[in-house]
Structure 1
Amino acid sequence: MLPMNRRTFLRGSALAAGAGALSLTACGGQEQSGTDPQPLTLRMPGPDVAFPSPFTYRGGIGYLQASYLYDTLLWKDAAGEYIPWLATGFERSDDGRTYTFTLREGVTWHDGEPLTAEDVAFTFDYLAEHADQLAPSVITVPNYDNLAGVEAIDELTVEFRLREPDWTFEQFTGAGGVLIFPRHIWSSISEPGQQQDPALLVGSGPYRLTEYEPGTGANLYLANDDYFLGQPAVARIEHRPVDDPLAALLAGEVDQAGGVGPGTGLRPQALAPFEDRDEFEVIDAPFGETVVGLYWNLAAGGVLAEASFRRACALAIDRQMLVERLFDGKAAPGNPGLLPPSHPYHVPVEQYEHDPAQAEQLLADAGYERDGADGIRRGPDGEPLRFELLVSNEQPMGPVELVIAELAEIGIECEPVAVDLPSFHERLNSGQTELSMTTFGGTNTDEQPDGMAKVYASTSRSLQRAQGYANAEFDRLAEQQRATLDESERQELAAQMQQLVAEELPMLPLVYPPLTTIVRTTEFDAWYLTPGGVGGLVPGVNNKHAFVTGATTGGVS
């Protein structure tokens, strides 16, 4: 992406600076003409995203729900282009160390107080001060160490000063995607990560949270009729817990199923009831938007910390077989360099093609002898290669069972342990694992290779981080690419990052499952998949731009 100054930012979005009235067009079954249109309601499956504040929301789906309540400086439209949101544009200094954002006039918080540059400056200062309070599941966290200062120049102008250039600063993972919250609500709160009072959820966003059931995923969002872009096209968004989203969609209980989440990856036969039916649309993303990863906890030490052991495991697992057996070929095998082949920064790396004999030889050479052809391997100390494989109970067991069977063929025994999603995250965060498996997004985002740092950097707080992995060379490359404004130079650094993690293999990408979302179009037909995702990691169809405008084209006024 070319650097955007304020002029190109506005021209590229075909927008005029400043706030303006938003014209809503008719969509689907929602009649916009007439004197008394019926309010449009969208019903979504849960899941539980935790308390949707900027400090505690859970993962990408939680970020999307929090974005209903809180706005950001920038956003993305249906073309995947950054567009003005709270900001009408920005300027970047020639040295890449100063960004000046201009805000819209007339924006107010849900309680009627004006939103000003002071609130934006407060948001960044407060987040930096309370960084230890942020849940690990919060995905939009700027590089506070590089932020030298943020200052409100006047009511509508805020200036950010960086210590080093940072190409991500004008993206979702920099300043652009940070949820802006009000100073008058949070300035007196010393422990934001402990708050669970819905009365605190005062934002400037297009919706207000009016019903919230902790731990269930049952949330109700009603339109903010005073929204600065005009009354949202979708008046009501219901998130409700359902046991089987596909069955609920067929039964008319929800308007969407599939998409992102721990269970990403619908098998082709699951789509049959929805195909060739006018009331449904099947939206497919390119393979590589999400990945199922196998993790070893290097911090546990012993054989888990040995690269040769991890390489043996990789050689034992037939990733192409996972594609065929689990998804009837409608997926792609995982790439040990993380970035899928469709990503423009992808480079060839060691693939560890399926070779159980070589895997057995690696283990034998390392001193792990086997008790007979079908026995478990033991180390020089006599301890068996027996491990717990932790998964969330929302993770489909198909890949888990196949991986366990493949490892058993070379004498490694794994016992699956499925826990609820909050417990899974808690154990990951505290390092209480040996092996684990999870699904996450962002592998094909336009914010790569910076997204690789969320997985492999020693400083990462992300729940998808490679557990116990610390490599000074990777950290250096990650920091260098972030400060590199030249895209060709950044691409060279990305190649080195991929080759390094493929060699050390702290996490094995197993498969890029299909990312398919099925939506009901009879009431709302403006669903779209945002290219590159929103929030830097979320390749879903629940873009609030569509819910606000009711359209799949155009920006905002």
Structure 2
Amino acid sequence: MHRRRFIATGAGLMMAIAAPPALAQRRDQRVLRFVPQANLTALDPIWTTASITQTHGYTVFDTLYGIDDAGRVQPQMAEGHSVSDDGRVWTIRLRDGLRWHDGEPVLARDCAASLERWAKRDVFGGSLATRVESWGAADDRTIRIGLRSPFPMLLSAIAKTAAVSAFMMPERLARTDPFRQVTEMVGSGPYRFVADEYNSGSRVVYRKFDGYLPRQEPAQNTAGGKIAHFERIEWAVMPDSGTASAALQAGEVDWWDQVNPDLTPLLRRSRNVTVAVNDPAGYIGTLRFNSLHAPFNNAGIRRALLYAVNQDDYLRAITGNDPEIFSECHSMWPCGTPYGRETRPAELRGPPDLSRAKAMLRDAGYRGEKVVILNPSDLPSIGPFGQVTHDLLRRLEMNVELVETDWGSVVQRRASREPVERGGWSIFHTWWPSPSILNPAISPILRGQGTGGWFGWYENPRVEALAEEWLTTADEARQAQLAEEIQQESFREAPVVPLGRYFIRTAYRTGLTGFLKTASSYPWNLRWA
């Protein structure tokens, strides 16, 4: 443990022990003080897939449909929908009384423009957009989507909760180029973004939106009644884990989103802190290549690293060597999901042999090109991955540089398509909640959409053809066959390296209740017991 972390943690523990019971009580129970997983640098949840921005997005914005605990699509801003007999015209009726945070009514044309912008950044949305003839409005409360051909999965696309969610914005914001960030935060969700109190790297503030009309159903995932029990939510950005741990034990904050594994035992000994795993599905760690530039525009070099990676090294590093919360998963689809079968080709199985990996690199044509690894030093649920990869590539005698910075800077820089000599990158790591990458419709990491796809810009027309067939067939057996063909193509082309499955613990002050069983840190439904 670093000396600074030890001092901060020790100080927090002494404060928690020495303080009389009265000091352990909340000073203002109308305010929720939250330590997010990372700094919030990108505010537009359509522009990026960063989880921290998605958390911000669900706080401020709302969606037409949500997903319940059983994975079923449920109306949210929508009152209901209808589909024409030929399947080519969808009409979605908005609930009455919806308002934006600036007081203006939510109109169907706002939502049509929002869907159009979202579809240009999302994998599933892109599949839908190829069939859309028009995004329009029949009247102020009725969205009308005209299709060139039927798309039965339309509601599943606009309801999904991960990668890029279909957040609704006023038309004047939704008309922004989707590859340029919206900076004015006007949503219709349960909380308003307080722009004049936003300080990137330090503080984010939200206030309850009194004009929000929650649904009457119980809250489940992103569906049901999003009841805002707090008048104010304050995010305190704390890159140092020891500081966050001490603040939680002392009652200075109420909820720490992602707990450092090495601090879990300490927090469990605090009578005023609860440590939990709220997500039952777990996360899949991934190593993502930049497929635009050398050396990883060469599939043979990517494949050599796919072979060389030992998942156990990564999983032990990310979990603090806690076998209770990790398991290897040698599948391109998440283990434990319908397509998550470990069917690696024989030549990729078994413990990696570094001598063979070096030979694979030579045979594929690696000639010492520089590799830049972007790595977030402030995000313990990702940061160790970069350090393990840096060590691996050094042992493989590759020309490698580890650029350690904050996660917000990683999010900004990974959008660059420049070569490393001009500020680009070669590798970054991240994690995905298992449900967000479980099939060809929603997983951006295996799709081959090129420059129109996810960061790394992997292009593969065959994968796109297989995904298109998966979307259009109603035969589940054929869908499973197609998913396996995509998996085998992904083992050959290696757009990404799976690093295994693990769980991330969260911690909060005992007495805070209403947590949803999801991978995301949603602010609604929470209250003090």
Pick the TM interval, shorter chain: 0.7 to 0.9
In structure 2, the residue matched to 1:527 is 515
Q: CA deviation at 1:326?
A: 4.6
Cα 1:190–1:388, aligned 2, differ >3 Å: closer, same or farther? closer
Instruction: Supply the distance in 1 between the matched residues of 2:34 and 2:105 (Cα, whole angstroms).
Output: 32
In structure 2, the residue matched to 1:124 is 115
RMSD: 3.9
Q: Secondary structure at the match of 1:299?
A: coil
8 Å Cα contact 2:46/2:178 also seen in 1: no
Aligned AA (2:481): E
Q: Secondary structure at the match of 1:62?
A: helix
In structure 1, the residue matched to 2:170 is 182
TM-score with structure 1 setting the length: 0.73
Instruction: Supply the distance in 1 between the matched residues of 2:299 and 2:102 (Cα, whole angstroms).
Output: 55
From 445, 454, 477, give the equivalent of 2:466.
Answer: 477
Cα 1:486–1:90, aligned 2, differ >3 Å: closer, same or farther? farther
Q: CA deviation at 1:80?
A: 4.8
Instruction: Supply the distance in 2 between the matched residues of 1:439 and 1:310 (Cα, whole angstroms).
Output: 17
Q: How does 1:36-435 map to 2 (within 5 A)?
A: 40-46=30-36, 47-50=38-41, 52-53=43-44, 56=47, 59-77=50-68, 80-93=71-84, 96-125=87-116, 143-166=128-151, 168-171=153-156, 173=158, 177-183=165-171, 185-186=172-173, 193=180, 196=183, 200-210=184-194, 211-216=196-201, 218-229=203-214, 232-243=228-239, 244=241, 245-259=244-258, 266-267=260-261, 269-275=262-268, 279-284=272-277, 289-302=282-295, 304-324=296-316, 326-327=318-319, 328=321, 329-332=323-326, 335=329, 337-350=331-344, 352-357=348-353, 359-361=354-356, 363-364=358-359, 367=362, 383-384=367-368, 387-396=371-380, 397-431=383-417, 432-433=419-420, 435=426
From 444, 451, 457, give the equivalent of 2:435.
Answer: 444
Q: Secondary structure at the match of 1:429?
A: coil
Q: Secondary structure at the match of 1:452?
A: coil
In structure 2, the residue matched to 1:496 is 485
Deviations 1:454-480 (A, max 9, x none): 5432246565x4x25221111111222
Cα 1:139–1:126, aligned 2, differ >3 Å: closer, same or farther? closer
Cα 1:542–1:491, aligned 2, differ >3 Å: closer, same or farther? same
Deviations 1:130-189 (A, max 9, x none): x5xx7x9x9987843332113322333222222344454212556894222223x54897
8 Å Cα contact 1:55/1:193 also seen in 2: no
* Of 165-174 and 108-117, the range deviating more from structure 2: 165-174
Instruction: Supply the distance in 2 between the matched residues of 1:45 and 1:355 (Cα, whole angstroms).
Output: 39
Instruction: Supply the distance in 2 between the matched residues of 1:380 and 1:207 (Cα, whole angstroms).
Output: 53
Cα 1:64–1:488, aligned 2, differ >3 Å: closer, same or farther? farther
Instruction: Supply the distance in 1 between the matched residues of 2:514 and 2:80 (Cα, whole angstroms).
Output: 26
Instruction: Supply the distance in 1 between the matched residues of 2:370 and 2:103 (Cα, whole angstroms).
Output: 59
Cα 1:225–1:502, aligned 2, differ >3 Å: closer, same or farther? same
Structure number with the bigger relative contact order (C-alpha 8 A, sep ≥ 6) is: 1
Instruction: Supply the distance in 2 between the matched residues of 1:398 and 1:59 (Cα, whole angstroms).
Output: 18
Q: CA deviation at 1:63?
A: 2.2
Q: Secondary structure at the match of 1:430?
A: coil
Cα 1:102–1:475, aligned 2, differ >3 Å: closer, same or farther? same
Cα 1:414–1:78, aligned 2, differ >3 Å: closer, same or farther? same
Instruction: Supply the distance in 2 between the matched residues of 1:191 and 1:472 (Cα, whole angstroms).
Output: 24
8 Å Cα contact 1:49/1:57 also seen in 2: no
Unaligned runs of 5+ in 2: 1-23, 216-226
The answer as to 2:496 corresponding to 1:511 is no
8 Å Cα contact 1:322/1:402 also seen in 2: yes
* Of 402-411 and 200-209, the range deviating more from structure 2: 402-411
Instruction: Supply the distance in 1 between the matched residues of 2:523 and 2:451 (Cα, whole angstroms).
Output: 26
Instruction: Supply the distance in 2 between the matched residues of 1:110 and 1:139 (Cα, whole angstroms).
Output: 28
Cα 1:551–1:102, aligned 2, differ >3 Å: closer, same or farther? farther
Deviations 1:412-457 (A, max 9, x none): 4533222333442343222345641311324433863323235432
In structure 2, the residue matched to 1:542 is 522
8 Å Cα contact 2:463/2:489 also seen in 1: yes
Cα 1:266–1:502, aligned 2, differ >3 Å: closer, same or farther? farther
Cα 1:326–1:366, aligned 2, differ >3 Å: closer, same or farther? closer
Q: CA deviation at 1:400?
A: 3.0
Q: Secondary structure at the match of 1:300?
A: coil
Aligned AA (1:44): F
Q: CA deviation at 1:223?
A: 0.9
8 Å Cα contact 2:60/2:189 also seen in 1: yes
Q: CA deviation at 1:402?
A: 3.1
Give aligned pairs, total.
476
Cα 1:361–1:485, aligned 2, differ >3 Å: closer, same or farther? same
Cα 1:403–1:208, aligned 2, differ >3 Å: closer, same or farther? closer
8 Å Cα contact 2:376/2:406 also seen in 1: yes
Unaligned runs of 5+ in 1: 1-28, 32-36, 260-264, 369-378, 531-538, 553-557
Instruction: Supply the distance in 2 between the matched residues of 1:248 and 1:139 (Cα, whole angstroms).
Output: 40
Aligned AA (2:515): W
Q: Secondary structure at the match of 1:193?
A: coil
Q: CA deviation at 1:525?
A: 0.4
Cα 1:64–1:462, aligned 2, differ >3 Å: closer, same or farther? farther
TM-score with structure 2 setting the length: 0.76
Aligned AA (1:342): G
Q: CA deviation at 1:285?
A: 5.2
Instruction: Supply the distance in 2 between the matched residues of 1:491 and 1:41 (Cα, whole angstroms).
Output: 47
8 Å Cα contact 1:209/1:222 also seen in 2: yes
Q: Secondary structure at the match of 1:232?
A: coil
8 Å Cα contact 1:141/1:174 also seen in 2: no
Aligned AA (2:374): L
Aligned AA (1:237): I
